[in-house]
Amino acid sequence: MRVMKKYMLCIASYNDYRQEFYEKFVKPNNQKYCLKYNIEYIDFTENVRPIRENFIWVKTFKLSELQNQLNEDDLIISLDADIAIFDHSIEFKLESNKSFGYSIDSANTHNMGFHILRNNTFSKDLINELISEDRYAKYISNYTKLNNNESYSTFWKNFADQASWYSLAGIVRHSQTSFWNMEDYGWNSNIDEETFYSKDQLYKNVQILPSKFNVTELRGETEGNYNINKVRYFHVINRHFAGGQKFKKIWYKNSKFLLHLYYWNPFRLISLFFNNNLYRIIGKFKSLIKNG
Identify the structural domains of the chain with CATH numbers, from first to last.
6-247 (3.90.550.10), 255-292 (no CATH)
User: CA-CA distance, 214 to 83, in Å (whole number)?
Assistant: 8
Q: Give the torsion sign (CA, 140, 165, 29, 255).
A: positive
| pLDDT per residue as tens digits for the range 176-207 | 999 999 999 999 999 999 999 999 999 999 99
- Taking alpha carbons only, the member of 86, 88, 106, 30 closest to residue 250 is 86
- Taking alpha carbons only, the member of 58, 65, 76 closest to residue 8 is 76
DSSP bridge partners of 207: 101
- Taking alpha carbons only, the member of 162, 168, 164, 165 closest to residue 197 is 168
Q: What does the pLDDT read at residue 279?
A: 57
pLDDT at 259 over 70: yes
Q: Are the C-beta atoms of residues 209 and 102 closer than 8 Å to each other? A: yes
User: CA-CA distance, 194 to 192, in Å (whole number)?
Assistant: 5
| pLDDT per residue as tens digits for the range 110-157 | 999 999 999 999 999 999 999 999 999 999 988 776 665 666 778 999
Question: What's the pTM?
Answer: 0.91
User: CA-CA distance, 66 to 58, in Å (whole number)?
Assistant: 12
How many Cα atoms occupy the beta-carbon half-sphere of 192 within 13 Å? 11
Q: Are the C-beta atoms of residues 41 and 33 closer than 8 Å to each other? A: no
Number of helices (H), then strands (E), belonging to the chain: the values are: 10, 10
- Count of Cβ atoms closer than 10 Å to residue 287 Cβ: 10
- In this prediction, residues 212-238 reach a mean pLDDT of 94
Give the H/E segment covering residue 144.
strand 143-145
Phi, psi of 198, rounded to the nearest 5 degrees: -85, 165
pLDDT at 208 over 70: yes
Q: What does the pLDDT read at residue 274?
A: 75
Give how far Cα 242 sits from Cα of 8, 83, 109, 228, Å: 19, 8, 12, 15
- DSSP-derived pairing of the beta strands 39-44 and 75-79: unpaired
- The CA angle 270-275-276, to the nearest 5 degrees, is 100
What ranges in the chain are assigned the alpha helix state H?
Answer: 17-21, 27-36, 56-69, 121-130, 133-139, 155-159, 161-169, 199-205, 256-263, 266-291
Q: What letter would DSSP give residue 39? A: E
Give how far Cα 10 sits from Cα of 39, 50, 77, Å: 13, 15, 9
User: CA-CA distance, 179 to 188, in Å (whole number)?
Assistant: 12
- In this prediction, residues 238-244 reach a mean pLDDT of 95
Q: Are the C-beta atoms of residues 87 and 254 closer than 8 Å to each other? A: yes
Higher per-residue confidence, 81 vs 2: 81
